[in-house]
Structures are given as structure tokens and as C-alpha cells.
Amino acid sequence: MSDNKNGGKNFLHSVTLDLDKCKGCINCIKRCPTEAIRVRDGKASIISELCIDCGQCIRVCQNKAKKANYDDFSVLNNYEYTVALPPPSLYAQFNNIEDQKIVLDALKAVGFDDVFEVAVAAEIITAATERYLIRNKGRLKYPVISTACPVVPRLISVRYPDLLDNLLPLITPVELAGKMARIRASEKTGLPPEKIGCIFLTPCPAKVSAIHSPIGTEYKHVDAAIAINEVYPLLLKEMKKLGAEMPERQQLAGSVGLGWGIIGGESTSLKSTDKHLAADGIDNVIMVLEDLENHRYGLEFVELNACSGGCVGGVLQVENPYIARAKVNKMKSNIKENDEPLDDDYVKLMWDKELNYNPAMELGDTMQESFERFTRLQNLIESLPGLDCGSCGAPTCAAFAEDVVKGNSEIMDCVVLLRRETEEMYKRMESSFDSVGLANRFEE
């Protein structure tokens, strides 16, 4: 994994680039929501300060040059006792299951000592969110924006800093699950916490980054992440062996927790307000955030997920996200809500560290430098063709102009301007030759 200072010290990125596979096409630069990719000398490069690990470049790269870094199963050997943390979206990767029971059993069969469902933690976060909205009604900056998808707060910190105060300051279900699982395992085994490994089964690269550099907290409660598409074939094999032999029931999340695996599952579970919105897919997320900056919605809660369909659409999933969504809805219809009392004291689940504005898009280090560069930037943009062709290696002409004023590109990297300059030079040469009677010889 690569690291940088974005969003905190030693931030670890899970999206990486294999230069040997990169062909220098411009598919990725056009799809990156923070314009974090450039093509230089025939190869793509990622600007780490701007990258939010959303995985869009992984989806569109036809050469498989972009990839997500995550842990493999050997990480289990680092701990004396391991706990799997399956997300709600995992269960929807399999066919013909009515609840999550057989998947939980299969996780123990593939090598984990215990299992703690992230969906259980999601139900606690739902209750805590409910209490947070009720107790602070009228005092919050509306709409409150969910932070469950790590892409969203990081995107806001880079592109929409005015919305930072709208973020829900509660730790994510994954972090809470890791915290609860470690406490339970330590009590059960008598082992010290550091000898217990809490391993998340991740649907996307953004959550790999989030467990290594958690948002809103100094403390890491999850030790590693294994991709769902890596564990899937192993689970499928064990599930076939288990068949109808169902061991004693383990702890199971209710329908509310399972609903977090799909878009709308978090917001529709809130009973204290019907003024909520859910949007999925990075383009739709950006559209909503831009409208929120312009105060266009009279909402109280907004749920956003960078992946289409919600977490079931993660780039490290197996199943078609829309089929997976239907499976989640079917499972929810077979499972009741948990009526066990949940700890909804949101205060102890609050962030202990603020998410600050990421100035990676600033033009300069000082206000004066930024103003001077902005003036030059506007002049440059007016001189550029506005084709957004990507031939310069930047996604748009505006992004290219920023690269120039920051000293990262030369103006003649624009092939259109270079062609115009070449044509002008040819005309000047032709005029000079004509003035001495050599024009016809030059053409020959």
C-alpha cells in the first residue's frame, strides 16, 4: 500500500498501479471523481493526496493495471485467535440461502476461530444515530450525512469542505464490530487483545484504507482486510460440505442490520425522520453533494454510497449488484428485526478526531500565491481549446491548466496548442522563404 499525509499521518492507500500493465490509455483519468490520475510518459500516475480509493479506476481499466491491495489468508497466522467480521453484503453473494447462518458456519470452517457480524454493529449504529438526531434536533447542521461509506467523507474533505460539519460523527459499523469482537474474544479466551486478530471481509478498496487509517478516530479496532472475492470460493466449497448439517445457531443480525448491505438500508431504518435521501454510484453522489452545497434539499439525513446498489456493488464483490440487492431484500423478508435491547448511547460512539479539510486542490501554499495562480489559471483556461480530450494526460483542460500553474506540466503538452504553434512556425518559415524567393524550392 502507498501512504501519504492526506487525512492524517501515514495514510495508507489500497488502490495501486501496475506500470507494467498500463498502456497509457486515458480511461481512468476520465472517471476519477477527484481528478487524481494523470498520464505522463505513456503511463498513468496517481496523485496520492487526491486519491480517495473509490475504485472507479479499477472498474474502467481494461488492462487490469489498477488493483486493490489487501491481506491474504496468511494474515491469520499472525494471531493466536482470529475473528471474522463479515459485512451484510457478503451473504448476498450466495444463492439459495434464507439467512446468514450457513455463511457464518462456513467462515469458521475455512479457518477463523470465531465470527462477529458487522450487521450487528450496524444495528447499534442505527440506534445511536436515531438517538443523536433526536437529542440534537434543531441544533445540527442539516442534512446530516452518513459516514458509513468511507469514500464520502474523504470526497467531502477534498471537494466539498463546506459540508464537513454535516458529517455524522459516529464511528463506522466496521470499527464498532472490531471493538466489540475483540472484547468478547478476550473475555472468552483470556488472551490479551493484541493476540486477537479481527479480520474484515471487505467489499471494496476504500474500506481497506479505512481500517488502516480510520476516519474520525485515532484507534484501530480492525487488524486486516481480506477481499470478498478471495474468500468467496473457499466459503462456497465449505457451504456445500455443510449442506443441511446446521450446528447450533450463532448470533445473528436482524433485518435492520442486513439492510445496510444495500443502498437505502441505513436511512430507511431511521424512524425519527422521513426527511431522508439515499443515493448510490459516484456520479450520483457528486450530484447530490453539489446540490447540498447549494442548499437545494430540505432534508435531515442523507445516505450516500459510492458503489452502485450500495456495498453489494463493491469492486471486490462477486455477484451482480442488482441481483445481490434482490437477495438482500429477500433475506430481510425472512428475518425479523432484533427485539433485543441495543446500546444506543451515541456519546461513546462519537468521533475522537475531527476530519479536516484536505487542501490538495489548493493552488498555492499561501492566499497570495493562490490568488496569483488563480488569475494565471483563468487566463490559461481561456487560451486552451476546451476539448477535454485528455491527450495532455490530464482529464480536462481546466485540470491541465492547474498542472501548468503548479509547475507539473508545460503549456506545450497540449497537442492542440502545439499543432497551432507548429502551423504558425511553418507559416513564418514559408513567409521568410517567400521573401527571398525560395518558397517553391521549400515546398519541393
CATH number at residue 64: 3.30.70.20
Lowest mean pLDDT among 124-128, 379-383, 420-424: 420-424
**What are the pLDDT digits (tens) for 233-243?**
999 999 988 86
Same domain, 38 and 83: no
* Domain assignment present for 184: yes
| CB atoms closer than 10 angstroms to residue 279 | 19
pLDDT beyond 90 at 440: no
Same domain, 34 and 97: no
Same domain, 61 and 99: no
Closest CA to 265 of 179, 337, 166: 337
pLDDT beyond 50 at 9: no
* Domain assignment present for 344: yes
Closest CA to 192 of 79, 115, 73: 79
Q: Which amino acid is at 306?
A: A
Residue 64 and residue 300: Cα distance in Å, rounded? 40
pLDDT beyond 80 at 404: yes
Give the model's pLDDT for residue 437: 60
Same domain, 64 and 177: no
- CATH number, domain of 380, equals 1.10.15.40
Please compute Rg for the chain using Cα positions.
Answer: 26
Residue 121 and residue 113: Cα distance in Å, rounded? 19
Same domain, 324 and 193: yes
Same domain, 105 and 118: yes
Whose cell is 471494496? That residue is 204
Whose cell is 438517538? That residue is 131
* Domain assignment present for 51: yes
Same domain, 154 and 238: yes
Same domain, 114 and 222: yes
Residues in Cβ contact with 431 at an 8 Å cutoff, skipping those fewer than 6 apart? none
Give the model's pLDDT for residue 252: 79
Same domain, 269 and 389: no
Whose cell is 507548429? That residue is 422
Per the prediction, the chain carries an average pLDDT of 90
* Domain assignment present for 354: no
**What are the pLDDT digits (tens) for 211-226?**
999 999 888 999 999 9
* Domain assignment present for 255: yes
Q: Is the dihedral of CA 38, 44, 50, 54 positive or negative?
A: positive
Same domain, 241 and 128: yes
**What are the pLDDT digits (tens) for 245-260?**
655 556 678 899 999 9
pLDDT beyond 90 at 104: yes
Most confident of 112-116, 243-247, 343-347: 112-116
The answer to whether the bond into 143 is cis (omega within 30° of 0) is: yes
Give the model's pLDDT for residue 361: 84
Give the model's pLDDT for residue 116: 96
Start-to-end C-alpha separation, the chain: 58
* Domain assignment present for 317: yes
pLDDT beyond 80 at 388: yes
Whose cell is 493466536? That residue is 80
CB of 260 within 8 A of CB of 173?
yes
Domain limit, last residue, from 11, 40, 68: 68
Burial class for 275, CB neighbours closer than 10 Å (0-12, 13-18, 19+): middle
Phi, psi of 276 (to 5 degrees): -135, 165
pLDDT beyond 90 at 436: no
CB of 246 within 8 A of CB of 76?
no
Strand runs (DSSP E) across 30-109, as ranges? Answer: 37-40, 43-46, 66-68, 81-85
Same domain, 395 and 430: yes
Give the model's pLDDT for residue 244: 56
Phi, psi of 60 (to 5 degrees): -95, -10
Whose cell is 475473528? That residue is 83
Domain limit, last residue, from 68, 89, 118: 68
Q: Which domain holds residue 404?
A: 365-435
Domain limit, last residue, from 39, 68, 97: 68
The total number of structural domains that make up the chain = 3
**Residues recorded for the chain:** 444
DSSP state for residue 414 in the 8-state scheme: S
**What are the pLDDT digits (tens) for 181-221?**
999 999 999 999 999 999 999 999 999 999 999 999 888 99
Residue 337 and residue 332: Cα distance in Å, rounded? 9
Residue 191 and residue 76: Cα distance in Å, rounded? 16
Q: Is 45 helix (H, G, I), strand (E, B) or coil?
A: strand
* Domain assignment present for 401: yes
* Domain assignment present for 53: yes
Order of strands, sheet of 81-85, starting from the edge strand that comes earlier in the sequence: 114-115, 81-85, 196-202, 224-227
| CB atoms closer than 10 angstroms to residue 384 | 19
Same domain, 273 and 378: no
